[in-house]
Structure 1
């Protein structure tokens, strides 16, 4: 009885064995079909990430289009060796698809804009010293910037030395008229003392010496006290006083008065006051009594930044315009570039000759000068391609499809271009717009250029 039960159990197991293998073989197949049909990409709403769909559509909340999102069981995207640069820090390598350019080696026409002022030509300023000592009897000029002409009487002076020289000539003419050498020497002595040819002839005709001798101006221009500066201060043209006429010579006299006031010291006479010499005053030989300034030729004096002064040489053309007065620009040429700077200033002074025939040309008047010159042959790039970050200038060099910041030395700027002195070569490719590659919250770290 027990043996039959065991045989029946074994037979039942033999009958169920095929079904067991079939079930085991079917289970992986079913799982594989489910894995094949399961979606690898899900679609979600950018604004509502809780909305997930297995096919494209619209968000039921906001209506935005669903965007694709890989699921966790989706295979990872392969990493190409060409994208290894993405593993570098962002502050060393910037990836962007923008326009590029190459440095161009050429010459560029550049301009220098200069601010200046009209001032007197120092070569047209003359001192009238006392050629002999004596006492001023009569003064015929009364105030600064009074116009005088060549041959006009300036003052009468009594001089014992001059009286003695006259008597010597008269004695020779009366007692030894045939001694021409001595007579000629006496006349020459009077000439050296300041006597004119006409005065000597008048003395010979009259036969009587004069105790009051007249001194005439040898120049034409404006008379000044020697302590008064005729030129305005060129380093501060904006502080020049407005022109004010009233000396009988129109605009030039008034402008000169304004300019002279700017250069006087507190102890010196003001431009509108009289002279330091007075009638009845004794003067000594060699003492500077008056100064005459000829305003027929004036200077345009400009301040030029030291970095641009080297581009100007004698003869460089300049176009001058008057700030206060409309009109055609006046052509001129550089006469002098001063080789020194004023103390504490970084400007060189440049002078150009300017004729003063036009009555509207006023001493102390503000000017603007423009000089054009050709630069030397150098590498030039668009100014947008070089970025100034304070301590240095940076350009973005394209290397293997990647833009990398490098340090460059920038020079002159002209016509929308900037000169590159070092850091780039003609065959380099750089970003046209360097600012576009800079994030507002990032800091550029320039790698050492070992090329």
Structure 2
């Protein structure tokens, strides 16, 4: 009887051990929940953390770490690549609007009205009537008196032919034309034939109205003989009857139309040397810088309204006339030219101006200007992805009221923050995904 009891007790012990193992395995397989910020908080059912009130998340099967779900994936990103916030959002609107292009520029010379007087003959300046920079001159005003042996010889040749061969009109006409090529005017030649006495000094007259520029703007070199001068833009030559060659100025300063010209009484000049440069300020133009992204919105003939920061309330109406076909080195701005009205008395060379051009845009994406942030090297917007905001690079165009055109970087279905500035407190925060 005892052996049977031993066997029975052994069987009961094995049965109890098996049940205990199943209960242990069942307990081990139960899901436990913990706090991502406070791992010491563990419980057997979902809930919230008593410390930070965050939702509890399930632990992994092996109890190592927290299971990474889609809702928690953004927590693994760097802190400067996503923003968790509950702010107002907006969507890009596909539409066509009346946009405004803002431009900053400067008033410059019209290169067709910048002239230079080159010397027709070599000689010495006996008397100078133009002595300082920006001196106003009128057409026909005497500029200087020059002594030239070549002019004296040409006068004597004409007087000799008139006296000895008055019937040879062809030879006389050739001698008269030679004097004209040397810079003598018809009035000077007629006076020579009327008096019969050659003049040892010839007066040079201005054929243009305007202001003298680039004259004596630097100290003269300590040399004798021919003055150091340079070629520049074009006015007439010795006298009032010669032709002129205009040259274009590159800036609005006093030395922008060419290099400085030095003139002194007693100075010798050589053939072809520029004597005086004159600019007529009756017709000016304005050159404006336009961001490359807004260039497509403009075309030749686009009306612009020019305003003067120094003169509130003053403005001029003009039209885009010319697009510079290249970019200046190191700049990302295109240049456009606008001719100013001839009666623009408030406009002066070198004056800074602003302009607005109103253009009708093609259908495109438009967003509030506050939704776009310019960080210097890029323009970004904050795109909403899985309940978080990520910075994305965008390309902007024209502006219309409080809206701005998006040329690339967004789709009509995107959702972005209405106020991009609210999501960043410094430029170093933003790390744009490429």
In the alignment, which residue of structure 2 is the partner of 1:411?
396
Q: 1:281 aligns with which of 259, 263, 267?
A: 267
Distance change in 2, residues 1:154/1:444 (3 Å): closer
In the alignment, which residue of structure 2 is the partner of 1:192?
181
In the alignment, which residue of structure 1 is the partner of 2:149?
160
In the alignment, which residue of structure 2 is the partner of 1:142?
131
**Alpha-carbon distance, 1:126 to partner:** 0.7
Q: 2:290 aligns with which of 299, 304, 307?
A: 304
CA deviations 1:185-241 (Å, max 9, x no partner) are 222211111111111211222222211111111111112345659xxxxxxxxxxxx
In the alignment, which residue of structure 2 is the partner of 1:294?
280
CA deviations 1:335-358 (Å, max 9, x no partner) are 333334444444444332224635
Equivalent-residue separation in structure 2 for 1:375 and 1:422 (angstroms) = 15
Matched, 1:218 2:204: no
**Alpha-carbon distance, 1:155 to partner:** 0.9
The answer to whether the Cα contact below 8 Å between 1:317 and 1:331 also exists between their aligned partners in 2 is yes
Q: What is the CA RMSD across the aligned residues, in angstroms?
A: 4.3
CA deviations 1:374-411 (Å, max 9, x no partner) are 33332334456667899784564689xx7886956443
In the alignment, which residue of structure 1 is the partner of 2:362?
376
The answer to whether the Cα contact below 8 Å between 1:406 and 1:423 also exists between their aligned partners in 2 is no
Equivalent-residue separation in structure 1 for 2:163 and 2:262 (angstroms) = 41
In the alignment, which residue of structure 2 is the partner of 1:6?
none
Distance change in 2, residues 1:397/1:181 (3 Å): same
The answer to whether the Cα contact below 8 Å between 1:405 and 1:444 also exists between their aligned partners in 2 is no
Equivalent-residue separation in structure 1 for 2:344 and 2:122 (angstroms) = 41
Matches within 5 A, 1:1-150: 103-150=92-139
**Alpha-carbon distance, 1:132 to partner:** 0.5
CA deviations 1:125-179 (Å, max 9, x no partner) are 1111110011111112222222111111111111111112112222222222222
**Alpha-carbon distance, 1:278 to partner:** 1.5
Distance change in 2, residues 1:325/1:386 (3 Å): closer
The answer to whether the Cα contact below 8 Å between 1:228 and 1:260 also exists between their aligned partners in 2 is no
Comparing 382-391 with 99-108, greater Cα deviation is found at: 382-391
In the alignment, which residue of structure 2 is the partner of 1:237?
none
Q: 1:208 aligns with which of 189, 192, 197?
A: 197
CA deviations 1:261-297 (Å, max 9, x no partner) are 57699xx86xxxxx72222221111111111111111
Equivalent-residue separation in structure 1 for 2:366 and 2:253 (angstroms) = 47
Secondary structure at 2:193's aligned position in 1?
A: helix
Distance change in 2, residues 1:86/1:125 (3 Å): closer
The answer to whether the Cα contact below 8 Å between 1:147 and 1:223 also exists between their aligned partners in 2 is yes
The answer to whether the Cα contact below 8 Å between 1:302 and 1:349 also exists between their aligned partners in 2 is yes
Distance change in 2, residues 1:187/1:383 (3 Å): same
Equivalent-residue separation in structure 2 for 1:220 and 1:447 (angstroms) = 61
The answer to whether the Cα contact below 8 Å between 2:132 and 2:216 also exists between their aligned partners in 1 is no
Gaps of 5+ in 2: 1-47, 49-68, 219-251
Comparing 168-177 with 146-155, greater Cα deviation is found at: 168-177
Equivalent-residue separation in structure 2 for 1:395 and 1:281 (angstroms) = 70
What TM-score comes out, normalization by structure 1 length? 0.60
Gaps of 5+ in 1: 1-68, 70-83, 230-258, 270-274
Equivalent-residue separation in structure 2 for 1:295 and 1:391 (angstroms) = 41
The answer to whether the Cα contact below 8 Å between 1:144 and 1:223 also exists between their aligned partners in 2 is yes
The answer to whether the Cα contact below 8 Å between 1:295 and 1:356 also exists between their aligned partners in 2 is no
Equivalent-residue separation in structure 2 for 1:326 and 1:110 (angstroms) = 23
In our comparison, the structure showing a higher alpha carbon Rg is 1
Equivalent-residue separation in structure 1 for 2:108 and 2:165 (angstroms) = 55
What TM-score comes out, normalization by structure 2 length? 0.62
Secondary structure at 2:312's aligned position in 1?
A: coil
Distance change in 2, residues 1:261/1:409 (3 Å): closer
Secondary structure at 1:326's aligned position in 2?
A: strand
In the alignment, which residue of structure 2 is the partner of 1:179?
168
Equivalent-residue separation in structure 2 for 1:186 and 1:150 (angstroms) = 27
Distance change in 2, residues 1:417/1:201 (3 Å): same
